[in-house]
Structure 1
């Protein structure tokens, strides 16, 4: 699994946004966090952190249990409301289910938020040995087919900001990353094997909306051993499914 993103320096986050920073960290981690863990992830002082947690608890966005903090019931209501309102999810879900049936593998819908790739929806394979990227999980926009495909199709200014944060300006690592992103754009898909989770092969394709920007990516995930020798067929299935969703998005 990819290592967690480094904490954002507290000074880099406006005071009015710190409560949102705490909520975002809780949402990304997918498990209850102690105050010490939240301090490590946010860079906030203990007194500032407790002020933000008190506000979030008062409004029902966070709950506290045995000294740990987790998203509260109002966060769940927001998530359910997002599921109902998301045009991307509505347009993608039928084709995701069809691709999962055709490939017998898991299929995810992933979007970029700031410097993270976040799973919006997942259709699980019915096979006993399967790969998935849990709904709500996030990883940095750096490794893996989903993250690289998203990064390759970000607006130039947003892409540059992420690359600056990851590699700095003018480094050999950044030049190599930019070349890889160019290759992904030209190919129309991104591939990875074991970059985020050991033993997992992935293929991602961009989902292009009416703005001609990628609304997200469609990712097929399979155990490397099962994908071996049928990569070309799996890529073709994913490309066709992605094109079908993109056409649907353009019509709405």
Structure 2
């Protein structure tokens, strides 16, 4: 089945064209109605289209869900930026905000340290493995064991550095510790020479992202760990209150 054709059907919908019938789609795209039905069946199953009582099709609830996610991401970024800037000034290290995106996380905000430069994978718009690094594991820890099982079942887990955890039981133990402590930390796990602390961010008791502080290992291990974690947790709470 052509993915392109499926997407082209969705592209037919506009503010002026909110409902379409199978014959209309068939005529516009110049493809058999039997093919249109096959494409629509998949789109209905995935909630991208819904059938009306007139036998036509309109955009489905999946788009509303996606719109809500986009709005939440925008709200999260707006709520987090001033808090992250304050945290960066307080710790003098880079602060990072990531959210879940399928079997990965994606960085939506990065306030680079104006005191010390550090190169990290967590740059705005960049995808990050869900199983590696404190930023991602602070999210994965609250997604349940099924999420971890799927990562290994689909062969997604791989080494990025010598410190990347690629054993399932070891990763599950690590995630359990994260839940117990309320924070994650990683040492050369995703980026060589980078040490990171991260805490989860929740919205109505659902994990939506994480906030982290990252810096060169030799400098981070000299910091007051308890104070840094306390500052991170306080910042995360402020963000949660603002969204």
Q: For residue 107 of structure 2, give the secondary structure of its aligned residue in structure 1.
A: strand
CA contact (8 A) 1:131 1:221 kept: no
- Aligned match of 1:215: 208
Q: Closer, same or farther in 2 for the Cα pair 1:186/1:138, shift >3 Å?
A: same
Q: Closer, same or farther in 2 for the Cα pair 1:236/1:214, shift >3 Å?
A: same
Q: Map 1:53-68 to 2 at 5 A.
A: none
> Rg larger in 1 or in 2?
2
Gaps of 5+ in 1: 1-13, 21-81
- Aligned match of 1:119: 107
RMSD over aligned Cα atoms: 2.8
- The CA distance in 2 between the partners of 1:138 and 1:124, in whole Å, is 18
Q: For residue 214 of structure 2, give the secondary structure of its aligned residue in structure 1.
A: strand
* 2:221 is the alignment partner of 1:228: yes
- The CA distance in 1 between the partners of 2:221 and 2:212, in whole Å, is 17
Please list the CA deviations of residues 95-143 of structure 1 after superposition, one character each: whole Å capped at 9, or x if unmatched: 1111011111110110121111211111110124334421111122121
Please list the CA deviations of residues 174-229 of structure 1 after superposition, one character each: whole Å capped at 9, or x if unmatched: 2222121111111111000111111111011111002x111110011111111123
Which is richer in helix? 1
- Aligned match of 1:39: none
- Aligned match of 2:117: 129
Q: For residue 87 of structure 2, give the secondary structure of its aligned residue in structure 1.
A: helix
* Equivalent residues, number: 171
- The CA distance in 1 between the partners of 2:76 and 2:141, in whole Å, is 19
Q: Closer, same or farther in 2 for the Cα pair 1:88/1:152, shift >3 Å?
A: same
Q: For residue 154 of structure 2, give the secondary structure of its aligned residue in structure 1.
A: helix
CA contact (8 A) 2:139 2:210 kept: yes
Runs of 4+ in 1 over 3 A off after TM superposition: 17-20, 82-85, 155-160
Q: Closer, same or farther in 2 for the Cα pair 1:166/1:109, shift >3 Å?
A: same
Gaps of 5+ in 2: 8-69, 158-165
CA contact (8 A) 2:148 2:168 kept: no
Q: Closer, same or farther in 2 for the Cα pair 1:241/1:17, shift >3 Å?
A: farther
- The CA distance in 2 between the partners of 1:238 and 1:190, in whole Å, is 11
- The CA distance in 2 between the partners of 1:102 and 1:166, in whole Å, is 40
CA contact (8 A) 2:133 2:189 kept: yes
| TM-score normalised over the length of structure 2 | 0.62
CA contact (8 A) 2:133 2:190 kept: yes
Q: Closer, same or farther in 2 for the Cα pair 1:83/1:121, shift >3 Å?
A: farther
CA contact (8 A) 1:167 1:173 kept: no
Quick one: which of 6, 13, 16 aligns to 2:3?
Answer: 16
| TM-score normalised over the length of structure 1 | 0.60
